[in-house]
Amino acid sequence: MFNNFKTMCTWESRYNLVIGTTFERKASARLSSWLKSIRDSGERPDWMLPHVFDELGQYWNTYKFKAISDQAKMARGSLKGGSLHTGGAKTVGTVAREMEKVLGRTPIEPEVFKKTHGRKKMSRIRMCGWRKGPNELLFGKKKW
């Protein structure tokens, strides 16, 4: 796919590696996002061949795939370490761009942090920040 892309664009040859790896990373992220939305909807998109959709459906129902998926869910929801990033597979940049569309302005850093590090089911007390110790926050309760 990258070779096809190279025929439509030009750049100095010294940038081939950087542009190639960036292209592959972005294409991989886009494909993963598309497959996730297909898996969630359960409907075959027009661009996907029927036999490919059927094979993916069979794979998504295997024990192996479900085990990998469950392990990834646990890793995303882990409370180990400094702060909990709850954006899943979305990068902070992607979340910020989505917030910009909704808010109609560029979000400030604390707003993006709150969105990407807050629990999906928040308790009545909203805590923001990372933990220094078992009962201490690096920066306490804040309203932004």
- pLDDT digits 0-9 by tens, 39-86: 999 999 999 999 999 999 999 999 999 999 888 887 766 555 555 666
100, part of any domain: yes
- Look at residue 114 and tell me if it is in a domain: yes
> Are the C-beta atoms of residues 38 and 50 closer than 8 Å to each other?
no
Question: What is the amino acid identity at position 109?
Answer: E
- What is d(CA 92, CA 112) in angstroms, rounded to the nearest whole number? 7
Say what percent of the chain tops pLDDT 90.
32
How far apart, in whole angstroms, are the C-alpha atoms of residue 31 and residue 68?
Answer: 18
Whether residue 110 is contained in a domain is answered as: yes
pTM over 0.75: no
- What is the pLDDT at residue 111? 85
Q: Does residue 64 form part of some domain?
A: no
Residue 93 located in a structural domain: yes
Domain that holds residue 98: 80-144
Whether 132 is covered by a domain: the verdict is yes
Burial 112-125 (b: 16+ CB within 10 A, else e): bbbbbbbeeeeeee
Domain membership flag for residue 108 = yes
Residue scoring higher pLDDT (140 or 52):
52
Residue 67 lies in a domain: no
What total number of domains does the chain contain?
A: 1
